[in-house]
Structure 1
Amino acid sequence: MESSQQYLISNDYTEVYQRLPLGLQLAYGIGHVLNDVCASMWFTYLLVFFHLVLQFSNWEAGFMLLVGQVADALATPFVGFQSDQSGTSFFYSYGKRKIWHLLGTICVLGAFPFIFSPCVYCINAQRWVQIVYYCIFIIIFQFGWAAVQISHLSLIPELTPNEHDRTRLTAIRYCFTVISSILVYIVTWLILHLDSGDDSKLGPADGPKFQHIVWIGLGFGLFCSILFHLCVREEDGFGGSDIRGGQPRHNVKEILKNIKVYKVALIYMSTRLFVNLSQVFIPLYLHETLDMTASSLALIPLTMFIGSFLMSVGIEKLNRLFGRKMAYTIGVSMGVAACIWVQYGQGTFYISYGIYVVAVLIGAAGSVVLVTSLGITADLIGDKTASGAFVYGIMSFTDKLANGVAVIIIQDLHRDATNKFYYRDILTYVCGISIIFGFTGVLSLISGRRPREGLARHAQVPNYNSINSEVNPSDLIHPTT
């Protein structure tokens, strides 16, 4: 029978590692639900809402998404650096990760409802006034979103040093991401389908429906955030305790000089480009290229995330059995197959049945590559958990900036309203090249030193993966304060 503890003994200290209780894993997983609900609305419906409902131009809608992504990109390294500081104030006594999570939650709840609502007191104002109005709330929301995301991610290496437990936490986190997105799409489908009928197209009259969707999603997210803060305490980490005290860390200069950080950032950025751009442009592809009804703009994304959910159940086992490289390869294969099918799919059969298979493939592929890339990031951090938030901040900075720039360029280039195949080509080539680019990054990273060696240059991370394995003291890192 597998033991729940592992004792790692070196000449200088003893470290105890406990497997994470299931309740703690689940409580951790729901801590990002509020962000996930908002992200589903942001990436799937922001362009749709501003362009089709509020009647902004393609460029104007893309510009506001860019503002949000840039604000998020700038906030993530700042939040990461500040979250890594060992403050002694009253606020940090609550937990240096959780206090940022709480601050971010307040910002998200306060700003997000205004983004999917008509401009208060300025509905008839000039267009630039409305853009400034929305950008203010978008910046507040994105700062809060970044604070929640980075603080939540940085808890993973804090809670456990075990590679497979970290992958399991990431998979559970992503599983709740999928559940949150499925909830959003079910609510959206019910509201758009029941209120509008089967044959309606999205238009200005659908504005109040999006507000109903937002409030339902925020209510669910708030409930989950409260449970997270009640059930997860940073001091309950099961990562082991060093009798000499102190958390191992790297300073900012040392992290920025490590080439492996940039390789992993490239992998994460490419992965996020595939996941986010497919989520952003699928509704516009359905609306313009396939000429599908308003309810399909919820039903197809819902199918994508059902595919993600089914795949997320086995991701941790996939990584454990085959390793990061092979798991990422499997995800890339499904993603490329979906992109090719989008390019050549047409006709009644495709619209009635084939598009759902494509949606499942995109969702499953995104699930595998995203969880695996986050696992690679956790491996990079290794035992340097005190620097974890800043490393995640770097990853998120590249992701948000790249996505924002990509969206504004794609929207700006779409100047021919008669070109109904534009978004089909975007899904095929931009998303396809992104996921292949991520795969080349994985190959370059693993062809050298293994990512589980973390940020340390001359030391090795302890092997926590086998509970009953014999531990060689020379394999242990001696943390530095």
Structure 2
Amino acid sequence: MDPITEIKSTGEQEDDVTPLTPENPVTLEGEEVIFKDISKVQTFCYSVGHVLNDLCSAMWFSYFIIFFHQVLEIDSVTAGNLVLIGQMADAIGTPFVGYESDRTTGCQLYGVRKSWHLFGVIGVASSFVFVFNNCIGCDSDTNILSKYIYYTPFICLFQFGWASSQISHLAIIPELTSCKKTRGNLNGYRYAFTVSSNIFVFVVFTILLSVLGGDSSSDNVGPQDLDAFKYLGMIVVGTGVFFMVVFHVGLKEPRRPEHDSLEASQNRNNSFTWKCWFKEPQFYIIGFVYMQTRLICNFTQVYYPLYISTTLNLSKTSIAVLPLVVFISGFLASLLMPVMNKFMGRKAIYFIALLLGFAYCTMAWFLKEGHNSGIQQIWHYLLSVIMGAANGTLLVTALSLTSDMIGPRTHCGALAYGCFSFLDKISNGIAVQIAQVVQPADMCEDFYRVCLTIVPGSFLVIAVLFWVVLLFCDVGNLRHDKRGEEGAQKNINGDEDSGIGEDNEKLGVEGKS
């Protein structure tokens, strides 16, 4: 690859400059090196690095409650508890992985971020197939506590592995490129494969429900559909592992200097330590924007299939087809992101996505049961299209804002992602648990209508408030940087004053002579 770089000099620089590449990302003293682009092969390999997580996440959020409540016939509160346990394990794992990924040097020859990513892949691949399957040795007489104890370790291992892969995959973006446009594009490509992964899951699940759906005369998901979920889990893991091989073989992580550590990196980056994040108001603002975005996307993903099957009383294949439309719409929206960013900027795009969110919440409230009507079916698909465009745009923009905030502070970028993901996982787990606890025993159709309208609508209102605050932020320009510039200016002024004083003393001595 021919590297295209721009060197902004802040001091003297020699005429002969050795070309720098992402494989040798050395920042020379007095110079700020900005990489314009990375190769197409590297871009593709990075983009598929989260596919295993995305495939598993599609099943986890879309079908976990349905699988445990309607297929395994576990009560709604216990199913909610299992979701909360998984989210808690993920929440605890994310800041831990983020801190350790920043602090440790890992395997230098392989890459620090890639080492943690591989650890996560092993955890996810070895546990997920046991989550979406009947527990070994269980039958209709097995008590709930035994099932609870059986599934909990697999769920925790899956979630911790998922966190390790997610954080390391996000944290490698600022290390691959310093260019804001390229970072935004990488987030866009990453989300495109996220959407593609979800599309793959829903297409395969539609086929499996048709072929292995047990009692074809039943429109409702039930124990007869166990094989469809089991084989879907196996296909998901097998496909994801294939793309993980592509990521690990094809992507070359920029090597840190030998014996590089968190402390050494901080000394080279104006003493910006991981503790400095917690002194930055921008860290909290973008963190809560990210949390609200994830709440909106994940909560609707969890309860949309239940809204389809219970509130709208559509056929069971619809719980695969309509979510498929959602993610196709999100995929198309992600393709427009680079153009939209160029002309509108991230903050304007985020606000438009919020408006689309309010639109689909309103539509979902007024849609009634009537799947035999052609007009009603059109509204169902339109709802899915708007939901996909809104959620996809919100998520890509939130991730891009996070990358912009981290900027050149890659030595503690993983910790920032970890903290944001901690808020995301905790809030999602609590929200789902509360919904499962207050769920009526008679499966009232209006309950899932509320879950898809009033609850996400409340999250959207809070997101608007944080968006207003975000308008007054120059994302990426932190207070620590301003204090560093002021300190440097004082040092320069002090040196100048010292030089003037010395000159005056010399003049005084000469005058006396």
TM-score (norm 1): 0.90
Q: Secondary structure at the match of 1:314?
A: helix
Which has the higher mean CA deviation after the structures are superposed, 50-59 or 214-223? 214-223
Q: State yes or no: 1:294 paired with 2:316.
A: yes
CA contact (8 A) 1:453 1:460 kept: no
Q: State yes or no: 1:4 paired with 2:8.
A: no
Aligned to 1:386: 411
Cα displacement (A) at 1:321: 1.5
Instruction: State the Cα deviation string for residues 249-298 of structure 1 (Å, max 9, x = none).
Output: 63232212222211111100100011001100011111110111111110
- Residue number among 9, 27, 32 corresponding to 2:45 in the alignment: 27
Aligned to 1:326: 348
Q: After the TM superposition, which residues 392-471 of structure 1 pair with which residues of structure 2 at under 5 Å, given as runs?
A: 392-447=417-472, 449-454=473-478, 456-458=480-482
Cα displacement (A) at 1:194: 3.6
- Distance in structure 1 (CA, Å) of the matches to 2:162 and 2:146: 24
Cα displacement (A) at 1:350: 5.5
Q: State yes or no: 1:133 paired with 2:155.
A: no
Cα displacement (A) at 1:459: 6.8
Cα displacement (A) at 1:337: 0.4
- Residue number among 107, 113, 132 corresponding to 1:116 in the alignment: 132
Aligned to 1:273: 295
Q: Percent identity?
A: 36
**Amino acid in the other structure paired with 2:160:** F
| Alpha carbons of structure 1 residues 39 and 292: separation in structure 2 relative to 1, 3 Å | same
Q: Secondary structure at the match of 1:7?
A: strand
CA contact (8 A) 2:351 2:464 kept: yes
Q: After the TM superposition, which residues 228-377 of structure 1 pair with which residues of structure 2 at under 5 Å, given as runs?
A: 228-235=247-254, 246=265, 248=269, 250-346=272-368, 347=370, 348-349=373-374, 351-377=376-402
Aligned to 2:223: 204
Cα displacement (A) at 1:47: 0.2
Aligned to 1:102: 118
Cα displacement (A) at 1:213: 0.8
**Amino acid in the other structure paired with 1:175:** A
- Distance in structure 1 (CA, Å) of the matches to 2:334 and 2:340: 10
Cα displacement (A) at 1:13: 2.7
Aligned to 2:22: none
CA contact (8 A) 2:36 2:179 kept: no
Instruction: State the Cα deviation string for residues 431-480 of structure 1 (Å, max 9, x = none).
Output: 12212322321220222x3113157441799xxxxxxxxxxxx9xxxxxx
- Distance in structure 2 (CA, Å) of the matches to 1:299 and 1:455: 48
- Distance in structure 1 (CA, Å) of the matches to 2:375 and 2:102: 50
- Distance in structure 2 (CA, Å) of the matches to 1:454 and 1:34: 34
**Amino acid in the other structure paired with 2:410:** T
- Distance in structure 2 (CA, Å) of the matches to 1:439 and 1:168: 25
Cα displacement (A) at 1:316: 2.2
Q: State yes or no: 1:166 paired with 2:191.
A: no
- Distance in structure 2 (CA, Å) of the matches to 1:24 and 1:436: 39
**Amino acid in the other structure paired with 1:292:** L
Instruction: State the Cα deviation string for residues 60-118 of structure 1 (Å, max 9, x = none).
Output: 1111011101110110000000000142x6x3542111100000000000010000011
Instruction: State the Cα deviation string for residues 172-196 of structure 1 (Å, max 9, x = none).
Output: 0000000000000000011112444
CA contact (8 A) 1:319 1:372 kept: no
CA contact (8 A) 1:198 1:293 kept: no
How many equivalent pairs are there? 452
| Alpha carbons of structure 1 residues 291 and 189: separation in structure 2 relative to 1, 3 Å | same
CA contact (8 A) 2:77 2:436 kept: yes
Q: Secondary structure at the match of 1:425?
A: helix
Cα displacement (A) at 1:122: 3.5
**Amino acid in the other structure paired with 2:253:** E
- Distance in structure 2 (CA, Å) of the matches to 1:95 and 1:173: 20
Q: State yes or no: 1:64 paired with 2:82.
A: yes
Q: Secondary structure at the match of 1:337?
A: helix
Structure showing greater relative contact order (alpha-carbon pairs closer than 8 Å, 6 or more residues apart): 1
Q: Which runs of 5+ in 2 are unaligned?
A: 12-28, 257-263, 490-513
Cα displacement (A) at 1:236: 6.9
RMSD of equivalent CA atoms: 2.2
Q: Secondary structure at the match of 1:97?
A: helix
Q: Which runs of 5+ in 1 are unaligned?
A: 238-244, 462-473, 475-481
CA contact (8 A) 2:121 2:162 kept: yes
| Alpha carbons of structure 1 residues 218 and 187: separation in structure 2 relative to 1, 3 Å | same
- Distance in structure 2 (CA, Å) of the matches to 1:455 and 1:48: 47
Aligned to 1:479: none
| Alpha carbons of structure 1 residues 154 and 460: separation in structure 2 relative to 1, 3 Å | farther
Q: Secondary structure at the match of 1:234?
A: coil
| Alpha carbons of structure 1 residues 227 and 460: separation in structure 2 relative to 1, 3 Å | farther
CA contact (8 A) 1:379 1:453 kept: no
Q: Secondary structure at the match of 2:7?
A: strand
- Distance in structure 1 (CA, Å) of the matches to 2:89 and 2:118: 19
- Residue number among 164, 177, 200 corresponding to 2:194 in the alignment: 177
After superposing on structure 2, the runs of 4+ consecutive aligned residues of structure 1 that deviate more than 4 Å are none
CA contact (8 A) 1:8 1:14 kept: yes
CA contact (8 A) 1:271 1:369 kept: yes
Cα displacement (A) at 1:299: 0.4
- Distance in structure 1 (CA, Å) of the matches to 2:355 and 2:361: 10
- Distance in structure 1 (CA, Å) of the matches to 2:478 and 2:407: 4
| Alpha carbons of structure 1 residues 67 and 351: separation in structure 2 relative to 1, 3 Å | farther
Q: Secondary structure at the match of 1:250?
A: coil
| Alpha carbons of structure 1 residues 59 and 425: separation in structure 2 relative to 1, 3 Å | same
**Amino acid in the other structure paired with 1:387:** C
Q: Secondary structure at the match of 2:136?
A: coil
- Distance in structure 2 (CA, Å) of the matches to 1:179 and 1:460: 43
Which has the higher mean CA deviation after the structures are superposed, 7-16 or 383-392? 7-16
| Alpha carbons of structure 1 residues 148 and 58: separation in structure 2 relative to 1, 3 Å | same
Q: Secondary structure at the match of 1:313?
A: helix
Cα displacement (A) at 1:419: 1.8
Aligned to 1:216: 235
| Alpha carbons of structure 1 residues 451 and 264: separation in structure 2 relative to 1, 3 Å | same
Aligned to 1:14: 31
CA contact (8 A) 1:311 1:368 kept: yes
Instruction: State the Cα deviation string for residues 339-391 of structure 1 (Å, max 9, x = none).
Output: 10000112435642211110111111011111111111111112111100000
